[in-house]
Amino acid sequence: MAAAAATTPHSLLLQPRGEPGRAVEGGRHFLLTPPLGPCRQDLAERGVYNFAAGPATLPLSVLKRAQAELVDYHGSGMSIMEMSHRGKEFDAAIKKAEADLRALLAVPDTHAVLFLQGGATTQFAAVPLNLCAGPSDPADFVVSGSWSDKAFKEAKKFSAASVAWSGKDGKYTALPPFDAIKQNPEARFLHICSNETIHGVEFKDYPEPRNKSGILVADMSSNFCSKPVDVSRFGVIYAGAQKNVGPSGVTVAIVRKDLIGAAQPITPVMLDFKTHADNASLYNTPPCFAIYICGLVFEDLLAQGGLAEVEKKNAHKAGILYDTIDASGGYYVCPVDKSVRSHMNVPFTLAKGPDFEKQFIAEAAKEGMVQLKGHRSVGGVRASIYNAMPLAGVEKLVAFMKDFQARNP
């Protein structure tokens, strides 16, 4: 009977190749969980290197762990997608995810960690609704690209938002000297986007807010957990997970606790930080599977040695790619000022024009490098090289770039 049970279709469902076998306990079959840790990804194992801007590539070790736990989570007989968000298994998972994130970023006790829904775009409204007393309360915005511009426009609905600096005239290729940011001392907060995914502009340091409350707010969606950050400098940090820390569906918000509880009366219950802080992110059914994956990613980042080590790897990958662009004699062009080039999103064009860019993207895809097309609003090529992009992927891309240039002088 045992042998028959071990070979039923159900028992073989999702059995991963090369993974540890299925254990049997009390007549129930479940996959053994592989440990997390540094995991090399080669082209033969996944078929492609995925340079997408988001949803983006995830660590292979995390995907294998999730695969192994998918049918039977920790011997519960259920997938984590099936179990109650108020049960002991998921309670342990979300608490560990928060604890590991706090360890990664050294989040102080003065700040709450919230796992939210609606993407970072929903926080464009939530921030002014929670931080401004009403629509006449001023707020300052540094508009350094498409996402900070969208945040500003949304905030105008719920505050007297104004642009303290804009990079639009320069096509969002630079960031301002901090003394050039025309801050209103009466502004409730200063908002920045720490890394513009579309334009490839990244803050290497952060401005000091001059408002009375000292509130700096950052959309960190596309460089969240890519490097250490002094969380104590921020009133609010928010980030969609789907770039560096998980799948789409969950947004992480780190909020200074003294800023929670004074939302405008019109604030919807799901946009009120207090709703989620008071209920440990469990006011309603959260995006359980996405939070679980984030937890695995946090564990993986800790296993790599933490964010200081991750930052070194990211800087090395970005350096290889930018050096190739700059050494091409103008064949490839990155328009972003060198001092603020993103380590996460590298946009570039080909001097020979859009037709060659299309050819470049098509040929790269045939070689296993996909999702290199630039954002529809700017065109060109964009290589997103988040935490989970292995060094081998960047090395393959730069080798292809050199070969393409040699074949198409």
> Which pair of tokens denotes residue 80?
């984590």
Q: How far apart are CA 181 and CA 198, in angstroms?
A: 22
The span from the CA of 100 to the CA of 213, in Å, is 29
Give backbone dihedrals phi and psi of 46, rounded to 5 degrees, phi first.
-115, -15
CA distances (Å), origin 91, targets 82, 87, 217, 222, 288: 14, 6, 29, 27, 10
278: left (phi over 0), alpha (psi -120 to 50) or beta: alpha
Q: Which of 64, 243, 373, 396 is catalytic?
A: 243
Active site residue 366: no
d(C-alpha 200, C-alpha 342), whole Å: 5
**Other Cβ atoms within 10 Å of 193 Cβ, number:** 30
Closest to 344 measured CA to CA, from 298, 365, 313, 373? 313
Burial of 376 (0-12, 13-18, 19+ CB in 10 A): exposed
Number of H helices, E strands in the chain: 12, 16
The tokens describing 134, both together, are 């009403």
Work out whether the CA dihedral 127, 133, 135, 136 comes out positive or negative.
Answer: negative
Of 219, 227, 272, 373, which is the active-site residue? 219
Residue 107, sorted as left (phi over 0), alpha (psi -120 to 50) or beta, turns out to be beta
Given the residues 64, 100, 140, 147, the one annotated as active site: 147
Q: Which residues pair with 28 in a beta bridge?
A: 25
First to last CA, the chain: 68
243 is annotated as an active-site residue: yes
Q: What is the DSSP letter of 331?
A: S
Cα–Cα distance for residue pair 114/276, rounded to 1 Å: 7
Residue with token string 């290889």: 320
In the residue annotation, 147 being an active-site residue is answered as: yes
Residues marked as catalytic? 147, 219, 243
